Amino acid sequence: MALTNRKKKSRPVVQTPVSESRFDDSQEISDEKNENNLNLAEHSSKNYSKLATDFTTIDFDTQYSAKDRKTIKADPDIKSLIEIFSDFEGAKAYETLRHMTQYYYENNYDDRAQRIIASIQNNKFL
């Protein structure tokens, strides 16, 4: 019954529109599509990886801020083991996970699979 008797809320109205741009006025905005896309990529906050022509390796030494890190859902016993490994080594949990993924990546996949995984990973963050 609650689904059928919904009342529409009035939408807020902007009284004074803002005339400021999100980008610096000092940059020249060109009409060419390639340059425009490059400027947008430079201003993107999700552009973590550097533009590179070699997509065959993964850089496991990249440092991120705490704000950029994501949470990982794991079973309680696995999370407990990761915490034990971290305490045993005297490292942070995310550093232990980084070492684990690097070891898994290097020892469980052949060169072709590593190139495919690195290509997917690098294209994901461009």
pLDDT tens digit sequence for 58-99: 888 888 899 999 998 999 999 999 999 999 999 999 999 999
- Residue 21, domain member (yes or no): no
- Residue 28, domain member (yes or no): no
Instruction: Measure the CA–CA gap between 109 and 104, rounded to whole angstroms.
Output: 8
Please give the tally of structural domains in the chain.
1
Residue 124 has what pLDDT?
Answer: 81
- Residue 122, domain member (yes or no): yes
Rounded to 5 degrees, φ, ψ at 96 are -65, -45
- Residue 125, domain member (yes or no): yes
Instruction: Measure the CA–CA gap between 58 and 62, rounded to whole angstroms.
Output: 9
Residue 45 has what pLDDT?
Answer: 47
Task: Answer yes or no: is pLDDT of 31 > 50.
Answer: no
Percent of the chain with pLDDT over 70: 64
- Residue 82, domain member (yes or no): yes
- Residue 97, domain member (yes or no): yes
Looking at residue 46, its amino acid is K
- Residue 96, domain member (yes or no): yes
What is the extent of the structural domain holding 95?
A: 70-126
Q: At what angle do helices 111-124 and 93-108 cross, to 10 degrees?
A: 140
Instruction: Measure the CA–CA gap between 73 and 54, rounded to whole angstroms.
Output: 31
pTM: 0.53
